[in-house]
């Protein structure tokens, strides 16, 4: 069972939330679970949305917390989550998005076994927030996870904190 931590506790069951943002094109059940959680977090009054609204110090031209929360809550065309297989087995990449293709996200199938549901939720929210126009800097260090990016950029704020906003019990 998945429980979102918030003002009101939501028990998330398959189908409780209409698929609004994500389509599982991988056929993988962990990705399916992660999508349900991500959809649940992207609802008004979830712990995640409340945390974003109350955060005053986002950088990277993101706007203020309530602006970011409403951007994230706004309904948008469905994004497909697809598998790809990295060329190199030792590639560290979990996945990627292309800035010119807002309808697809690509998850490295080599990584799926090692990833927890929480990791996948964090990845989904991070990459999806990029597709919504949030960023954490460009240039050579764009993918380097600095403390500044983790604390003050929307993509890393989501992926670094996601495990605080829901619990999974068996």
Q: Output the smallest distance, CB 103 to Zn ion, in A.
A: 18
The token duo for 5 is 């931590």
29/146 with CB nearer Zn ion:
146
> Which candidate, 33, 11, 12, places its Cα nearest to that of 22?
33
Q: Output the smallest distance, CB 169 to Zn ion, in A.
A: 30
Q: Evaluate the CA torsion angle 83, 87, 92, 97 in order and state its sign.
A: negative
Q: Output the smallest distance, CB 8 to Zn ion, in A.
A: 31
The alpha carbon of 152 is separated from its chain's Cα centroid by a whole number of angstroms, namely 16
> Which candidate, 24, 30, 22, 65, places its Cα nearest to that of 158?
65
143/167 with CB nearer Zn ion:
143
Q: Output the smallest distance, CB 34 to Zn ion, in A.
A: 17
Strands (E), 57-149: 79-84, 95-98, 101-108
40/155 with CB nearer Zn ion:
155
Q: Residue numbers of the site for Zn ion (CB under 5 A)?
A: 155
> How far is Cα 88 from Cα 170, in angstroms, rounded to an integer?
34
54/141 with CB nearer Zn ion:
141
117/154 with CB nearer Zn ion:
154
| C-alpha separations of 65 from 69, 72, 104, 152 in Å | 6, 11, 26, 11
Q: Output the smallest distance, CB 99 to Zn ion, in A.
A: 11
């Amino acid at each position: 069972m998945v429980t979102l931590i918030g003002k009101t506790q939501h028990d998330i069951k398959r189908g409780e939330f209409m698929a609004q943002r994500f389509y599982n094109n991988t056929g993988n059940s962990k990705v399916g679970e992660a999508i349900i959680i991500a959809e649940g977090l992207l609802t008004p009054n979830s712990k995640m949305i409340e945390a974003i609204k109350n955060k005053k110090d986002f950088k990277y031209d993101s706007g203020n917390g309530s602006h970011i929360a409403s951007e994230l809550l706004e309904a948008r065309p469905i994004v497909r989550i697809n598998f790809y297989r990295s060329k190199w087995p030792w590639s560290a990449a979990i996945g990627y998005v292309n800035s010119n293709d807002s309808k697809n996200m690509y998850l490295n199938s080599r990584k799926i076994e090692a990833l927890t549901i929480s990791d996948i939720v964090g990845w989904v929210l991070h990459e999806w927030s990029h597709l919504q126009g949030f960023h954490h800097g460009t240039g050579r260090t764009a993918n380097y996870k600095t403390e500044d990016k983790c604390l003050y950029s929307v993509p890393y704020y989501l992926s670094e904190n996601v495990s605080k906003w829901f619990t999974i019990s068996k």
